[in-house]
Amino acid sequence: MKRFSDLVWDVITSLKLTIACLLTLMVLVVACTIAQVYLGTWGAVEIFMYRWLVWLHLPGTDWSIPVLPGGALVFAVLLANLIAAQVRRLEWSWKKSGIWIAHLGLVLLITGGFVTSRAQRETQLAIEEGQTVNFVESPREMELALIDRTDPAYDDVYSIPALSLAGRDAVAIPGTPVVLRVRGYFRNCDLSPRQEGEGPSLATQGVGVTTTVVPQPPVSRDEEINRSAAFVEPLVAGQSMGTWLVSNGLGKDQAFSAGGRTYSILMRNLREYLPYAVTLKRFRHDVYQGTDIPLNFSSLVRIDNPSRGESRDVLIYMNQPLRYEGKTFYQASFGKNDTLSVLQVVQNPGWLMPYIACVLVVLGLLVQFGISFRRAMLAQVARDSAAEEAAKAAAPRKVWR
Amino acid sequence: MRRLTFLAAAGALLAGATACGRDEVAHYRVPKEAPSSEPAARPAAFAANARPSGALPPPPVPAGSSALTWTLPTGWTQEAGGSAMRYATLRAPVPGKIDVSVTVLPGDAGGELANVNRWRNQIGLPPVDAAGLQSARKPMRTQAGTLSLYDFTSDGAEKRRLVAGLALVDGNSWFVKMTGEAGAVGQARADFLRLVESLRREAVQ
């Protein structure tokens, strides 16, 4: 009788597992494609591909049940299967070097997928002609920002990803005497003026006093954005500054003073500040003559990077992005009568991995083909030589008399 | 030994794949933003929620033919705004507590069902589902297009009533709402419906 570990090893190295993974991936790809109609691209990929399990919410209950393995789980199993089978079955010899290289390429391809799903950050930079911007913003993620505006020259910005507020009671702001007590968080909601007859708001300060928050289910379609909100009570050295409602659906930041410092508090799109500034010098939206059909969108920007002593102009246009300090800036959209340009900014530490993986797979197949071809050619030569020898041996000998 | 190495590597990979995330407080020291360097407004697809700009979700002020106007019934008065987010506040010449408002919000403002349930919640009624919404909706033709009209009265000794119309005009949701004591609302209802019927686009000069 086989030991349990032998059984696991047999399963993890079996070709059937590979087939099962590939079939599951086919199902996931079809389901994800259909779901994009209802959830949008981002929502469907998140639910079907980036998660370990695909969950189905049971209507009328708070329960969800897993109905499919998610893309992350399937790829993890496939990766384990690929490596284990390689280790178990393939011999370490030059004769199999092509297979090794091709498998290495596949491993790198799947690993690249993991790196992208976990580490890629997609943000946007919306900039008007003549404007200078030193940050990019996430179009979907929000942040709770506490800004110390006391210094006349600079602001200290403390950013907390809004999603991390769920289930948290308080967030201590490092390096300050401020603790933000989270008294409520809504990933998506509607805001409206409070009506007569409604009870008092949870907020005791700012516009939240006269605002009603109606929780809504989160949205994920490409054209929709969540209106996130939170009731936050700042405590400065233990003293309450009242409870404030913050939301990206609200207006300007709200401010309070304590301990000789002035703080602003707000919810907004998650920002990442850059160590350089981008200025939009000119945006162009060219059309084919006599038509409204777009010919070209381009943004002429100036990059000012004091840390490098660099100040240069760059033209970003369709399919010609700017790659700079680990980020890629693509021309994505425009507006405001062609005076506003929106650049999609992608940061993916694993962006080269699929390219290297594809090269390795092709190289591995070529090497293996070459090795097999050489072996076949040598065998053919040997067969030809043997046949020639045999023919010689069988030919009637001439006898000289 | 080979198996152990493999399992250890797989475990490490799995842990690495699940450990990513940015939940902590990030700190940036940035130059002060000049007023002119406020982030630019985005195109519609990116700006479903407006940029920070005012106190509450700022009521868009539709201009030209996208803006609606109406005819005030006799004895009624109106003032622009009146509170955050309101386009106009109207006063009906009836005794009792009553509030009449016109509000305009971008897009579908959360959808008709959500808004109707919010109204019902304001007078203490339970939410309705899509079928309930359908049966409560009364279409009303106006010069600005067809408007959905709702009329709800609460239960209990002190009855409250809400009559409200909702119309989508050029991508903006217009809400014309009258709410208050059931008696007062009932008294002003006929005039309110005449006002709603008179809704039309602003004449473009």
- pLDDT tens digits for B148-181? 999 999 887 788 899 999 988 877 788 999 999 9
Number of domains in chain B: 1
What distance in Å separates the CA atoms of residue B120 and residue A182, rounded to the nearest whole number?
A: 29
- Token pair of A146, please? 């506490």
Q: Read off the pLDDT band of A163 (50, 70, 90).
A: very high
Least Cα separation, residue B180 to chain A (angstroms): 9
- CB contact residues (below 8 A), chain B span 57-96, against chain A: 57-58, 83-86
Beta bridge partners of A328: A323, A346
Does B31 contact A at CB distance below 8 Å?
A: yes
Indicate yes or no: CB of B32 within 8 angstroms of CB of A156: no
- Using an 8 Å Cβ cutoff, are A137 and A124 in contact? yes
Provide CB contacts within 8 A for A296, sequence distance 6+.
A284, A285, A286, A317, A318
Query: CA–CA separation, A11 vs A8, rounded Å?
Result: 5
**Residue B83, in any domain of the structure:** yes
Burial grade of A41 (CB within 10 A; 0-12, 13-18, 19 or more):
middle
Residue A87 has pLDDT above 50, yes or no: yes
What percent of chain B is modeled with pLDDT above 70?
68
Chain B 137-156, residues with CB within 8 Å of chain A CB atoms: none
| CA B20 to mean position of chain CA atoms | 37
Kindly state the DSSP code that residue A237 receives in the 8-state scheme: T
Whether residue B78 contacts residue B88, with contact meaning beta carbons closer than 8 Å, is answered with yes
What integer pLDDT is reported at residue B51 of this predicted model?
33
For residue B31, being part of any structural domain is answered with no
Of B23, B33, B39, the CB nearest to A126: B39
For chain B, how many residues are written? 205
Rounded-to-integer distance, Cα A300 and Cα A129, Å = 9
B-contacting residues of A 74-113, CB under 8 Å?
A: 76, 79-80, 83-84, 87
3-state DSSP assignment of residue A101: helix
Higher-pLDDT residue of A225, A97: A97
Contacts (Cβ under 8 Å, ≥6 apart) of A34: none
Which chain A residues are closer than 8 Å to B20 by Cβ? 118-119
Instruction: Go through chain A and tell me how many residues it has.
Output: 401
Pairwise CA distance, residues A280 & B39, whole Å: 13
The closest CB to that of A214, out of B14, B55, B118, belongs to B118
* A282-309 average pLDDT score: 88
CATH number at residue B135: 3.40.1000.10
A252: Cα within 13 Å, side-chain hemisphere? 8
**Taking the CB of residue B130, how many other CB atoms lie within 10 A of it?**
8
- Give the N- to C-terminal CA distance of chain A in Å, as an integer: 77
**Residue span of the structural domain in which B64 resides:** 56-201
A127 contacts in chain B (CB < 8 Å): 40
Name chain A contacts of B17, Cβ cutoff 8 Å.
Answer: 72, 76, 114, 118
Tokens of A113: 């997928």
pLDDT band with cut points at 50, 70 and 90 for residue A185: very high
Question: Is the pLDDT score of A392 beyond 50?
Answer: yes
Residue A113 buriedness (CB in 10 A; 0-12 / 13-18 / 19+): buried
Cα–Cα distance between A105 and A320 in angstroms, integer?
28
Residue B133 domain-assigned (yes or no): yes
Does residue B34 register a pLDDT over 60? no
- Chain A nearest-CA distance from B122, in A, is 7
**Mean pLDDT in chain B?**
74
Domain residue ranges of chain A, discontinuous segments joined by +: 4-120+353-367, 123-131+273-347, 142-271
Cβ–Cβ < 8 Å for A86, A102: no
What is the distance between the alpha carbons of residues A237 and A233, in angstroms, rounded to a whole number?
Answer: 13
State the virtual CA torsion across A95, A99, A101, A104 in degrees, nearest 10: -140
Q: Does residue B24 sit within a domain? A: no
State what percent of residues in chain B have pLDDT above 90.
Answer: 17
Tell me how far CA of residue A364 lies from CA of A80, A82, A141, B147, in angstroms. Answer: 20, 15, 41, 67
Is residue B34 domain-resident? no
List the structure tokens of A292.
């409204």
Q: Does residue B28 belong to any structural domain of this protein?
A: no
ipTM for the predicted complex comes to: 0.75
Partners of B27 on chain A (C-beta within 8 Å) are 156-159, 174-175
Nearest to A190 among B36, B40, B114 (CB): B114
Nearest CA in chain B to A171: B25
What percent of chain A is modeled with pLDDT above 90? 58
Tell which wins on pLDDT, A400 or B91. B91
Q: How far is B99 from chain A (nearest CA, A)?
A: 9
Q: What pLDDT sits at residue A400?
A: 64
- Interchain CB contact of A159 with B (< 8 Å): yes
